[in-house]
Chain A
Amino acid sequence: MLELLQGPLLISILAGMVRIATPLLFSAMGELVTQRAGIWNISVEGTMLLGAVVAYVVASTTGSPWLALLAAVLACALISLIMSFVTIVLKAEQFVAGLALNLLASGLTLFWFQTYVIGREPPKFAGFDQVDVPLLSDIPFLGPILFSQRLLTYFAFLLPVAVWFFLYRTKYGLEIRCVGENPKALDVKGLSVGWRQCLAIMFGSLMSGFGGAFLMLGYSDRFVPDLIAGRGWLVVVAIIAGNWMPFRVVGAIFIFALLEAVAIHAQVVGVSIPHHFFLILPYVASLVLLAGLRSRTHQPEALGVPYSRE
């Protein structure tokens, strides 16, 4: 156990944490904006899966990870229109719509996987390369942890600041929060509630697309159907545990990511405890966090309530 804390290994664990946190940060910041607009979009898991599948297909046919990313993000933005239509126009139960989308995504993926992937020669595809930030990556200890990552990771770490700034320092952020708290208050000022919710859902899906694509293109070398492995659900938990505040959500995500990084390294180092025990750590942590942080004071008041005038 102690060897986990030695220099190179510690660096490796922390660098792993940063890497693992990347897709979670994308999805969580997207979902946070969606939820602040009052929409419980629990289809994060399915959307990430869709992003990963599309990224895999495009990357292996074109060979360009950037094209793959673009395609994944666009696909997720498109699929979000279904969610918008069902929840905003038809005003259906958001929870059910999200569940349905998740089932659809996992079902279609399995079907596609069994028909086109299994039993064939896995195609070659190129993922993202590591980008060392000049000078900064040479800082001892911190350099390899923070500044020898994939390009998208740097974006992911800037994202919470951007989202915070958007929500609390811009007019549009104020409007989005208003929609989540009391949509009528914005409606009576003559501004469209539906459009804002639609855009918020789209932003959320787009970010989940980034998350899913990064999982695929960042570190994997082949596709497996359980690539997402509940990370979409962890994101939803992180938002609740983070009490809908951007930086607290980030804190929750770091806890999950750290535990997963530890689990992976424990496996490599070969600790005597069965490694399955480590693998369940993030999920146990999510339960503990949910039970421990019960304050929901910043939960948007109209979260999950379809809005209509009459």
Chain B
Amino acid sequence: MVRPVVVEELLKVRNLTKRFGAVAANDGVSLDVRKGEVHCLFGENGAGKSTLSACLYGYYRADSGEIVFKGKTAELNSPADALRLGIGMVHQHFVLVSNFTVLENIIVGSSDVGVFLNKSEARRKVVALCQECGIDIDLDREIWQLSVGEQQWVEILKALYFGAELLILDEPTAVLTPQQSDQLFRIISGMRSRGLSIILISHKLREVMQSDRVTILRKGKVVATVETAGSTAESITALMVGHKVTKHVRDRSVMPAGEFLSLRNVCAKGDWSEDVLKDVSFDIAKHEVLGLAGVAGNGQKELFEVLMGVRAASSGGFSLDGEAIVAPTSREMLDRGVGFVPDDRFLEGLIPEFGTAENLVLGWQRAPEYRRGPFLDRRKLGLLARKKIEEFRVVTASADLPVERLSGGNAQRVILAREFLHARGLLLANQPTRGLDVAASEFVCEKILEKRAAGFAVLLASEELDDLMRLCDRIAVIFKGRIMGIVRPEETSLLDLGMMMAGDAKEPERTVQ
């Protein structure tokens, strides 16, 4: 990592403050970004990283403070101002038009297509950009046909197309596979060597450690800015949470016992009636966490949907606690005490316009404990919300603030709080730590282990292989809808897992009971 010889400040932020009602999302933030550096923003969920980025992009107007760009005070009243100055941004949540093609999403609003939408010039430019970055994507497909990973590439292409001098990337890797993240980092280092500056937001330490400098935010304030070269993952984490984070490991003295969930030859069709699940069989016992490892898009989502009763299995079936489940509905699965953490928080996990309290009882709103006669018991809901907000450390102005206003990680905590509260017996978690800060993801891991100790059967899909290795009793690897094998973490290396995830046929099919 070569640092530029002449330290030149591209961006200077002085005392920036941004409030939402009573919450100060950014409280006197000062920050310098040098020319040609990758500057990481690191901090807890709700620390104000996205808000700061949005202020730098002119999307939000800071209440006070000064932004100096290339030596001149910048008036950032709208993204137009930022783009004119050469500041580009990739937002934390996709900002795409789902029924436009990839190319249309990139060119809409750009000035070089002409009145009559002459796309050929723009297409050449985008194709060149793709080649340069090694992005392989069909420009004529519509967004809804793409996987989340591909959609993320479109967002990145959009930003690159405008050719910014300072690029802000707000959690670009949250939905990318580790391989895709590596590719993004190659693109980033290419940009850095061309003298561009990048502000990168990530919760993954592996990625944070690849930056030049890290600014740590806590509760809207800057805690410190450190050179990455002189720091360790531990020291940065400690700065962020104020204490050391201990990684929990499952308690091996508790042995899984008694089949709880068992799948036999489950097959299912996808949204375009392609085969997404092929003969999936496995069992999960009480006191057991079964990991599901695999590159996103290999059938994990559909597997969870089948188990939740929202997607029909085309053949095969499963049983719960010895009882065969025939043609399940999601209502039935909820009543049987299945907790489910879906991977798309705003689409499937929450009602964005509802507050935390209402989202906490979603699906259980008819349960007697939340009702008074035919009405919701507001008082009880309020009490519950207060308790869970504290327990899960949700940062929110009030229990009634629409969850769409929460930071990404805090929204995730609301889902977790709900599912951990209501599940009895089986917990299905698809990427539960996605978008969570280091401390919060450890908190989730701890909660999962608590459930395991309490006798739950847990199915946990995650792209964090380290987490799987320490939490799971066994890990099933899924590739193209097929279980490649089920292995024990203590008998397997990360390399083996990686090879199985890539569908390596050389690996003899292994399954442990």
Residues of A that sit less than 8 Å from B by CB: 169-172, 174-175, 177-178, 181-182, 184-191, 298, 301, 309-310
**Known interface pairs A190-B78, A190-B79, A191-B109. Does A169 touch B100 (Cβ–Cβ under 8 Å)?**
no
Please, how many angstroms separate the alpha-carbon atoms of A149 and B105 in the complex?
A: 43
Which of B100, B108, B114 makes the CB contact (< 8 A) with A189?
B108
Contact with A along B98-111 (1 / 0, CB 8 A): 11100011011110
**Are B97 and A182 closer than 8 Å at their CB atoms?**
yes
**Are B109 and A172 closer than 8 Å at their CB atoms?**
no
B84 within 8 A of A: yes
**Known interface pairs A181-B100, A190-B82, A310-B60. Does A175 touch B108 (Cβ–Cβ under 8 Å)?**
yes
CB-based nearest A residue for B117? A171
**Are B115 and A172 closer than 8 Å at their CB atoms?**
yes
Please, how many angstroms separate the alpha-carbon atoms of A182 and B100 in the complex?
A: 10
**Known interface pairs A190-B79, A190-B109, A310-B60. Does A185 touch B96 (Cβ–Cβ under 8 Å)?**
yes
**Are B117 and A170 closer than 8 Å at their CB atoms?**
yes
**Are A188 and B95 closer than 8 Å at their CB atoms?**
yes
**Known interface pairs A181-B97, A185-B97, A301-B98. Does A190 touch B80 (Cβ–Cβ under 8 Å)?**
yes
Q: Please give me the 10 A-B residue pairs with the lowest Cβ-Cβ distance, nearest first.
A: A190-B80, A189-B109, A181-B97, A190-B79, A190-B83, A191-B109, A182-B97, A178-B108, A185-B95, A188-B79
**Known interface pairs A182-B97, A189-B79, A190-B83. Does A174 touch B116 (Cβ–Cβ under 8 Å)?**
no
Instruction: Please tell me the size bucket of the interface on B.
Output: 20 to 34
B354 within 8 A of A: no
Task: Kindly provide the distance from the CB of A291 to the nearest chain B CB, expressed in whole angstroms.
Answer: 25
Excluding A181-B98, A182-B98, 7 further A-B contacts by CB distance (< 8 Å) are A170-B115, A170-B116, A181-B100, A182-B95, A185-B105, A187-B78, A190-B83
Which B residues are in CB contact (< 8 Å) with A298? 99
Which A residues are in CB contact (< 8 Å) with B80? 190-191
User: By DSSP majority rule, is chain A's interface helix, strand, loop, or mixed?
Assistant: helix
B480 within 8 A of A: no
CB-based nearest B residue for A189? B109
**Are B110 and A189 closer than 8 Å at their CB atoms?**
yes
Which A residues are in CB contact (< 8 Å) with B60? 309-310
Please, how many angstroms separate the alpha-carbon atoms of A197 and B104 in the complex?
A: 20
CB-based nearest B residue for A191? B109
User: By DSSP majority rule, is chain B's interface helix, strand, loop, or mixed?
Assistant: loop
**Known interface pairs A178-B100, A181-B97, A181-B100. Does A188 touch B116 (Cβ–Cβ under 8 Å)?**
no
Please, how many angstroms separate the alpha-carbon atoms of A300 and B79 in the complex?
A: 24
**Known interface pairs A189-B110, A190-B83. Does A171 touch B116 (Cβ–Cβ under 8 Å)?**
yes
A sample of 7 inter-chain contacts (CB < 8 A) reads A169-B117, A175-B108, A182-B98, A185-B95, A190-B78, A190-B81, A301-B97
CB-based nearest A residue for B84? A190
Which B residues are in CB contact (< 8 Å) with A172? 115
Which B residues are in CB contact (< 8 Å) with A174? 104, 107-108, 117
**Known interface pairs A185-B108, A187-B79, A190-B84. Does A171 touch B114 (Cβ–Cβ under 8 Å)?**
yes
**Known interface pairs A171-B114, A178-B108. Does A189 touch B99 (Cβ–Cβ under 8 Å)?**
no
Task: Kindly provide the distance from the CB of B239 to the nearest chain A CB, expressed in whole angstroms.
Answer: 30
Which A residues are in CB contact (< 8 Å) with B89? 188
Please, how many angstroms separate the alpha-carbon atoms of A178 and B60 in the complex?
A: 21
Task: Kindly provide the distance from the CB of A21 to the nearest chain B CB, expressed in whole angstroms.
Answer: 29
Which A residues are in CB contact (< 8 Å) with B20? 310
**Known interface pairs A188-B89, A189-B110, A309-B59. Does A171 touch B115 (Cβ–Cβ under 8 Å)?**
yes
Contact with A along B41-72 (1 / 0, CB 8 A): 00000000000000001011000000000000
**Are A181 and B83 closer than 8 Å at their CB atoms?**
no
Contact with A along B112-132 (1 / 0, CB 8 A): 011111000000000000000
Please, how many angstroms separate the alpha-carbon atoms of A54 and B97 in the complex?
A: 40
Task: Kindly provide the distance from the CB of A305 to the nearest chain B CB, expressed in whole angstroms.
Answer: 11
Task: Kindly provide the distance from the CB of B398 to the nearest chain A CB, expressed in whole angstroms.
Answer: 16
Interface-central residue, B59, B81, B95, by most chain A CB under 10 Å: B95
B371 within 8 A of A: no
Which of A169, A181, A188, A191 makes the CB contact (< 8 A) with B99?
A181
Which B residues are in CB contact (< 8 Å) with A310? 20, 60
**Known interface pairs A169-B117, A181-B97, A188-B95. Does A175 touch B59 (Cβ–Cβ under 8 Å)?**
no
Please, how many angstroms separate the alpha-carbon atoms of A169 and B117 in the complex?
A: 6
Please, how many angstroms separate the alpha-carbon atoms of A186 and B107 in the complex?
A: 10
B91 within 8 A of A: yes
Task: Kindly provide the distance from the CB of A193 to the nearest chain B CB, expressed in whole angstroms.
Answer: 10
Which B residues are in CB contact (< 8 Å) with A187? 59, 78-79
Interface-central residue, A175, A177, A185, A186, by most chain B CB under 10 Å: A185
**Are B117 and A189 closer than 8 Å at their CB atoms?**
no
**Are A178 and B97 closer than 8 Å at their CB atoms?**
yes
Please, how many angstroms separate the alpha-carbon atoms of A168 and B478 in the complex?
A: 42
CB-based nearest A residue for B109? A189
Which A residues are in CB contact (< 8 Å) with B91? 188
Task: Kindly provide the distance from the CB of B46 to the nearest chain A CB, expressed in whole angstroms.
Answer: 16
Task: Kindly provide the distance from the CB of B118 to the nearest chain A CB, expressed in whole angstroms.
Answer: 9
Task: Kindly provide the distance from the CB of B144 to the nearest chain A CB, expressed in whole angstroms.
Answer: 11
**Are B115 and A186 closer than 8 Å at their CB atoms?**
no
Which B residues are in CB contact (< 8 Å) with A190? 78-84, 109
Which A residues are in CB contact (< 8 Å) with B83? 189-190
Please, how many angstroms separate the alpha-carbon atoms of A301 and B89 in the complex?
A: 23
Please, how many angstroms separate the alpha-carbon atoms of A171 and B162 in the complex?
A: 17
Which A residues are in CB contact (< 8 Å) with B113? 171
Please, how many angstroms separate the alpha-carbon atoms of A175 and B59 in the complex?
A: 19
Which B residues are in CB contact (< 8 Å) with A182? 95-98
Task: Kindly provide the distance from the CB of A243 to the nearest chain B CB, expressed in whole angstroms.
Answer: 12
Please, how many angstroms separate the alpha-carbon atoms of A301 and B80 in the complex?
A: 24
Which B residues are in CB contact (< 8 Å) with A171? 113-117
Interface-central residue, A170, A181, A189, by most chain B CB under 10 Å: A189
CB-based nearest A residue for B118? A171
Please, how many angstroms separate the alpha-carbon atoms of A178 and B79 in the complex?
A: 16
**Are A186 and B109 closer than 8 Å at their CB atoms?**
yes
Task: Kindly provide the distance from the CB of A82 to the nearest chain B CB, expressed in whole angstroms.
Answer: 26
CB-based nearest A residue for B20? A310
**Known interface pairs A187-B79, A188-B59, A188-B89. Does A169 touch B116 (Cβ–Cβ under 8 Å)?**
yes
Interface-central residue, A188, A190, A191, by most chain B CB under 10 Å: A188
Task: Kindly provide the distance from the CB of B310 to the nearest chain A CB, expressed in whole angstroms.
Answer: 21
Please, how many angstroms separate the alpha-carbon atoms of A177 and B89 in the complex?
A: 22
**Known interface pairs A191-B80, A309-B59, A310-B60. Does A186 touch B116 (Cβ–Cβ under 8 Å)?**
no
Task: Kindly provide the distance from the CB of B463 to the nearest chain A CB, expressed in whole angstroms.
Answer: 27
